[in-house]
């Protein structure tokens, strides 16, 4: 081996192969710590002869059947033996038969075999041949688990980058679909692909995204959520500014609208930018069903406000504005609160906190048990709290309706935002009544108007208002009158 300077970075770049095959094998084994999953298949002219070649690959990352049929079968064939014993160029022969590329530096060796390729080393040659043999055990394509499909394609992304890009290619068969892959993570060396349609995607968005990905300095990327946290523009905002999904049809639709997708090796969730607020309210079924089904989007928006200000509104009305409530209803609410030792705000915090604990417990437990625990636990605890005189029946109803409304939102991360914002709005309503709710909502609207996702206003097309885009905002017009939305403009345009 020929080493360069003593620095680790220079050494990694300048190390080249030796012409001695045994030395090359020993060096690779040492660099990988003699790992048990490193497989070295030795090839000899006969049982007593010296080595003339070897195959090196990682067990579990390669297709073993492909290695046997397309490499070993050829190298052990009688015709190849005759050519090897002749004066033919053995390196060029092997490269033409089973290889895809030639490498000379050791840093290329490790990145190649970790991607599932097979390395072929020949005695007397200071270069290596790489054969494309990725494989191993991978999760098959299955229906989405987190996003329920009512109507539409039932395939979902997997942890394989190649599989995910293929799923998109099957839906968009265009030469303008471009894919650029980068490696992120000094230790994990995770492949991350940027996918967009040339001519539809904004070049400034692509450049900004590539710049942010190039500036990520981290040891490992284990999920697309890590990339999301590095590239988002407003990390302290409670609202998500990057959309994520496990459904290829959503990504394909977003690409045709001029958005850019980010696919991370090892993650079944793909990111989509830029993202706008109304996008988290929309569902794919809005476009697969008749126009009247699209009116359910209004129901989701209504549910969003119920989940956000439901408890706050109840606290404000029962504490400060009893005159707004009908007399008979107010008498019924007051009768139910007799004997309750806590004010309305404390009641709401206790019930909301309890329900959040049950919901989180249901998510962490096995599915068969988790749903039963969350549902039965809420019923039992709510009934017990009412009978014990700790919580009023009206508060249980309000909290239940609020919790159910939060499940109506198609995007889980938007539901988390609503759950977080619900508590400060409850405090403001308990302090200032309806005036406090109005102040809180005004602050939220101001904050939403100040948000951008890769240069796109977060409330677009509502603010700034675009009349042409209102056909697919609060409601959806029939498809024959709905054109694909164009590229979202940058903030300086």
**Residue 145: inside a domain, yes or no?**
no
Q: Are residues 306 and 205 in the same domain?
A: no
Domain that holds residue 305: 291-450
**Residue 285: inside a domain, yes or no?**
no
What pLDDT, on the 0 to 100 scale, is given for residue 372? 62
User: How many CB atoms are closer than 10 A to CB 388?
Assistant: 10
What pLDDT, on the 0 to 100 scale, is given for residue 14? 56
Query: Is pLDDT of 242 > 90?
Result: yes
With beta carbons less than 8 A apart as the criterion, state whether 229 and 183 touch: no
Query: Rounded distance, CA 409 to CA 225, Å?
Result: 20
Q: Please work out, in degrees rounded to the nearest 5, the angle formed at the alpha carbon of residue 431 by the alpha carbons of 427 and 432.
A: 120
Two structure tokens written together for 55: 């195959």
Query: Rounded distance, CA 106 to CA 11, Å?
Result: 9
What pLDDT, on the 0 to 100 scale, is given for residue 438? 95
Q: Are residues 413 and 363 in the same domain?
A: yes
Q: Are residues 295 and 443 in the same domain?
A: yes
DSSP label at residue 472: B
Place of tokens 């697309």: 224
Query: Is pLDDT of 10 > 50?
Result: no
Average pLDDT over residues 58-79: 86
Over the stretch 148-175, which tens digit does the pLDDT of each residue have? 888 888 889 998 888 899 999 999 998 9
Mean pLDDT check: name the lowest of 45-59, 301-315, 333-347: 45-59
Judged by DSSP in three states, 57 sits in strand
| Average pLDDT of the chain to the nearest whole number | 84
Confidence tier at 475 by pLDDT (50, 70, 90):
confident
Last residue of a domain, one of 219, 242, 275: 275
**Residue 85: inside a domain, yes or no?**
yes
What pLDDT, on the 0 to 100 scale, is given for residue 485? 46
Q: Are residues 441 and 307 in the same domain?
A: yes
User: How many CB atoms are closer than 10 A to CB 351?
Assistant: 25
Query: Rounded distance, CA 296 to CA 474, Å?
Result: 9
Query: Is pLDDT of 460 > 90?
Result: no
**Residue 478: inside a domain, yes or no?**
no
Closest to 397 measured CA to CA, from 469, 306, 478 = 306
Query: Is pLDDT of 325 > 60?
Result: yes
How many separate domains does the chain show? 3
Q: Are residues 270 and 302 in the same domain?
A: no
**Residue 120: inside a domain, yes or no?**
yes
What pLDDT, on the 0 to 100 scale, is given for residue 452? 93
What pLDDT, on the 0 to 100 scale, is given for residue 370? 63
What pLDDT, on the 0 to 100 scale, is given for residue 124? 83
Q: Is 365 left (phi over 0), alpha (psi -120 to 50) or beta?
A: beta
Closest to 25 measured CA to CA, from 61, 1, 6 = 1
With beta carbons less than 8 A apart as the criterion, state whether 402 and 311 touch: yes
DSSP label at residue 2: B
Q: Are residues 14 and 110 in the same domain?
A: yes
**Residue 313: inside a domain, yes or no?**
yes
Q: Could you tell me what percent of the chain has a pLDDT over 90?
A: 36
**Residue 168: inside a domain, yes or no?**
yes
With beta carbons less than 8 A apart as the criterion, state whether 157 and 264 touch: no
Q: Are residues 317 and 432 in the same domain?
A: yes
Q: Are residues 58 and 185 in the same domain?
A: no
Closest to 10 measured CA to CA, from 111, 107, 103 = 107
Closest to 436 measured CA to CA, from 303, 305, 315 = 315
Query: Is pLDDT of 270 > 50?
Result: yes
Query: Is pLDDT of 233 > 80?
Result: yes
Query: Rounded distance, CA 104 to CA 304, Å?
Result: 58
Query: Rounded distance, CA 262 to CA 101, Å?
Result: 27
Place of tokens 């969350």: 374
What pLDDT, on the 0 to 100 scale, is given for residue 436? 94
Q: Are residues 384 and 300 in the same domain?
A: yes
| Enclosing H/E stretch for 98 | helix 90-98
What pLDDT, on the 0 to 100 scale, is given for residue 1? 43
What pLDDT, on the 0 to 100 scale, is given for residue 487? 45
What pLDDT, on the 0 to 100 scale, is given for residue 368? 64
Query: Rounded distance, CA 417 to CA 448, Å?
Result: 12
Query: Is pLDDT of 262 > 70?
Result: yes
CA end-to-end distance (rounded Å), the chain = 56
Q: Are residues 441 and 323 in the same domain?
A: yes
What pLDDT, on the 0 to 100 scale, is given for residue 167? 92
What pLDDT, on the 0 to 100 scale, is given for residue 197? 93
Last residue of a domain, one of 131, 146, 175: 131
Over the stretch 206-215, which tens digit does the pLDDT of each residue have? 999 999 999 9
Q: HSE-up of 430 (CA within 13 Å, CB side)? A: 14
User: How many CB atoms are closer than 10 A to CB 370?
Assistant: 16
| Spatial CB neighbours of 106, under 8 Å, sequence gap ≥ 6 | 12, 15, 16, 17, 27, 28, 31
Confidence tier at 351 by pLDDT (50, 70, 90):
confident
Two structure tokens written together for 290: 């008749």
Query: Rounded distance, CA 214 to CA 194, Å?
Result: 12
In angstroms, how far apart are the furthest CA atoms of the chain?
104
Judged by DSSP in three states, 44 sits in strand
Over the stretch 246-259, which tens digit does the pLDDT of each residue have? 999 999 999 998 99
Query: Is pLDDT of 491 > 50?
Result: no
Q: Is 55 left (phi over 0), alpha (psi -120 to 50) or beta?
A: beta
What pLDDT, on the 0 to 100 scale, is given for residue 255? 94
Last residue of a domain, one of 275, 303, 324: 275
Highest mean pLDDT (candidates 102-111, 194-203, 281-290, 390-399): 194-203
Q: Are residues 165 and 121 in the same domain?
A: no
Q: Are residues 308 and 444 in the same domain?
A: yes
What pLDDT, on the 0 to 100 scale, is given for residue 48? 56
Over the stretch 122-133, which tens digit does the pLDDT of each residue have? 888 888 899 888
| Spatial CB neighbours of 427, under 8 Å, sequence gap ≥ 6 | 345
Place of tokens 């993570």: 185
**Residue 402: inside a domain, yes or no?**
yes
């Amino acid at each position: 081996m020929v080493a360069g300077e003593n620095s680790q970075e220079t050494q990694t770049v300048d190390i080249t192969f030796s012409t001695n095959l045994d030395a090359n094998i020993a060096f690779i084994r040492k660099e990988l710590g003699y790992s048990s999953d490193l497989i070295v298949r030795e090839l000899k002219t006969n049982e007593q002869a010296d080595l003339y070649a070897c195959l090196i690959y990682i067990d579990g990352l390669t297709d073993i059947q492909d290695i046997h049929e397309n490499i070993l079968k050829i190298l052990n064939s009688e015709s190849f033996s005759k050519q090897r014993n002749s004066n033919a160029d053995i390196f060029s022969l092997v490269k033409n038969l089973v290889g895809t590329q030639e490498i000379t530096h050791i840093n290329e060796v490790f990145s190649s075999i970790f991607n599932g390729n097979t390395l072929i080393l020949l005695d007397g040659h200071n270069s290596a041949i790489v054969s494309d043999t990725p494989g191993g055990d991978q999760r098959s394509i299955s229906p989405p688990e987190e996003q329920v499909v009512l109507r539409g394609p039932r395939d979902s992304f997997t942890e394989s980058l190649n599989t995910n890009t293929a799923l998109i290619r099957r839906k968009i068969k265009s030469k303008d679909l471009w894919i650029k892959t980068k490696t992120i993570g000094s230790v994990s060396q995770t492949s991350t692909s940027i996918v967009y349609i040339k001519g539809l995607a904004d070049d400034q968005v692509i450049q900004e995204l590539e710049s942010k990905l190039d500036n990520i300095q981290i040891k490992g990327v284990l999920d697309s959520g890590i990339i999301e946290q590095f590239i988002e523009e407003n990390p302290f905002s409670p609202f998500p500014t990057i959309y994520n999904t496990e459904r290829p049809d959503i990504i394909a639709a977003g690409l045709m609208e001029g958005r850019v997708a980010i696919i991370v090796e090892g993650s079944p969730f793909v990111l989509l930018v830029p993202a706008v607020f109304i996008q988290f309210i929309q569902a794919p079924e809005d476009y697969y069903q008749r126009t009247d089904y699209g009116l359910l989007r209004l129901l989701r928006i209504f549910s969003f406000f119920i989940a956000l200000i439901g408890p706050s509104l109840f606290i404000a009305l029962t504490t400060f504005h009893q005159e707004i409530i009908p007399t008979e209803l107010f008498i019924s609410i007051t009768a139910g609160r007799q004997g309750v030792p806590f004010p309305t705000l404390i009641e709401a915090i206790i019930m909301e906190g309890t329900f959040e604990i049950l919901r989180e417990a249901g998510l962490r437990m096995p599915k068969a048990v988790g749903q039963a625990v969350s549902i039965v636990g809420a019923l039992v605890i709510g009934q017990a709290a009412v009978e014990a005189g700790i919580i009023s029946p009206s508060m249980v109803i309000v909290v239940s309706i609020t919790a159910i409304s939060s499940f109506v939102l198609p995007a889980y991360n938007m539901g988390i935002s609503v759950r977080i914002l619900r508590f400060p709005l409850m405090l403001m309503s308990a302090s200032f009544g309806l005036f406090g709710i109005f102040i809180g909502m005004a602050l939220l609207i101001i904050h939403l108007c100040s948000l951008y996702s890769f240069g796109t206003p977060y409330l677009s097309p509502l603010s700034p208002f675009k009349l042409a885009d209102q056909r697919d905002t609060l409601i959806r017009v029939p498809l024959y009158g709905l054109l694909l939305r164009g590229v979202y403009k940058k903030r300086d345009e």
